[in-house]
Amino acid sequence: MNFESGFAGDSFEADETRLKQRKRLILIVSAGLTVLVAALVIGYWGSNKQAADTPNLVPRVTVVTPGSGTVSSVINATGTIAARREMPIGVVGEGGQVAAVLVEPGDWVKTGQVLARIERSVQSQQRASLAAQLQVARADAQLAQNDLDRALALVSRGFISKADLDRKTATRDAANARVRVAEAQLQEQSARLGRLDLRAPAAGLVLTRDIEPGQVVSAGNGVLFRLAKGGQMELLARLSEADLARLYVGASASVTPVGATQSHEGEVWQVSPVIDPQSRQGNARIALPYHKNLRPGGFASARIVSGQSQAAILPESAIQNDANGSYVYIVNDEGIVERREIKIGHVSAKGAAVSEGLTGQEKIVALAGGFLAPGQKVLPELENNKPQSK
């Protein structure tokens, strides 16, 4: 009895211990569940509040309202550089063997300066002969005049008849006529001799030289020198009919030769009065002052300011392009993105001038336009980062 009684007491104490452990476990699980539920409730409330405060599904976009301003209307063209007034020089006399060439391409010359000399030994002797004949004619004329003067002194005394006086007068007149003939012949030979010098008809820049000492030249040799009068150059800019219609004499232009970084300022001095029926183009001639980079025959581009107009100026980041042309995205009063087709005019460091499609009062997406689509809802934000209220 005592043994059984002791066993029963130990069993009771073990059950009581297990009951306490079970209660402790239940309390721990309950507390954990309570904390979990509280965390879920707090997270749900916080997410609802954040969703209410910030519309995460509506993207913010930067917009600009460019307005309108005065922009220059610019025509871009290409063409060939040439001398504004080119002067070809060749042999105008009988020619001969070249004795000396005195200039090189790139030299500056004055009006009347000798460019080349042709050998003239024969012509010089001919001139000397004519000069001697002139002296003989003058001597004969003086002798005839003296005879006439003596006859006039004697005629009153009856020693000389009227007929003799007339003959002496005629002899004097014939001698004077021979003097004039000799003078004309000498002047002619002097002119022929002078034409053996190839001279600059005006001051300017030597462009080309096609003559060498020892060469035999004549009028059939064609052009031996080419000069640019005053060193002035021009660009023969090729333009379409529409662009020519917008040009006027005096329009300013900036010309940049191929391979050069420096531009040269000039102005349109002539607009072609005719159009090439094949290419449907004409020339605008742009006068340019001399510069070593402006070489006749070279290729150059030109920016011609043909006037001023009012236009909206956009940053280039706002302009999109596709197969249909250029366009921008604008945000209407309801915050909806709309596509607007535009035409681009002059592009400068300030931005791109829009010639058609905008009034300048629209809210235009300035950035990230490539990630938007027409009809999309957005939150517009001006460049000063202040959102537009809706």
Three-state DSSP string of 73-132: EEEEEEEEEEECCEEEEECCCCCEEEEEECCCCCCEECCCCEEEEECCHHHHHHHHHHHH
Closest CA relative to residue 306, chosen from 235, 236, 239, 233: 239
197 Cβ contact list (under 8 Å, min separation 6): 114, 116, 117, 118
One-letter amino acid at 28 equals I
Same domain, 202 and 91: yes
Same domain, 93 and 172: yes
Same domain, 166 and 102: yes
Same domain, 276 and 315: no
Q: What is the largest CA-CA distance in the chain?
A: 219
Same domain, 287 and 322: no
Look at residue 387 and tell me if it is in a domain.
no
Task: Read off the CATH number of the domain in which 325 is found.
Answer: 2.40.420.20
Among 158, 173, 208, give the residue marking a domain's end: 208
Residue 7's pLDDT is what? 41
Look at residue 253 and tell me if it is in a domain.
yes
pLDDT in tens, 157-213: 767 778 888 888 999 999 999 999 999 999 988 888 888 889 999 999 999 999 999
Same domain, 103 and 194: yes
Whole domain around residue 34: which residue ranges?
1-54
Among 276, 308, 340, give the residue marking a domain's end: 308
Same domain, 121 and 194: yes
Look at residue 259 and tell me if it is in a domain.
yes
Residue 200's pLDDT is what? 94
Among 308, 334, 360, give the residue marking a domain's end: 308
Residue 43's pLDDT is what? 54
Same domain, 170 and 257: no
Residue 388's pLDDT is what? 45
Look at residue 224 and tell me if it is in a domain.
no
Look at residue 222 and tell me if it is in a domain.
no
Same domain, 172 and 93: yes
Residue pair 367/383 in contact (Cβ under 8 Å)? The answer is no
Same domain, 164 and 261: no
Give CA separation, 146 vs 37, 97, 162, 331, 358, in Å: 153, 47, 17, 113, 101
Look at residue 369 and tell me if it is in a domain.
yes
Look at residue 65 and tell me if it is in a domain.
yes
Same domain, 292 and 331: no
Look at residue 218 and tell me if it is in a domain.
no
Residue 110's pLDDT is what? 95
Same domain, 97 and 174: yes
Residue 90's pLDDT is what? 92
Residue 142's pLDDT is what? 93
The structural domain count of the chain equals 4
pLDDT lower than 50: segments of the chain: 1-9, 44, 47-55, 385-390
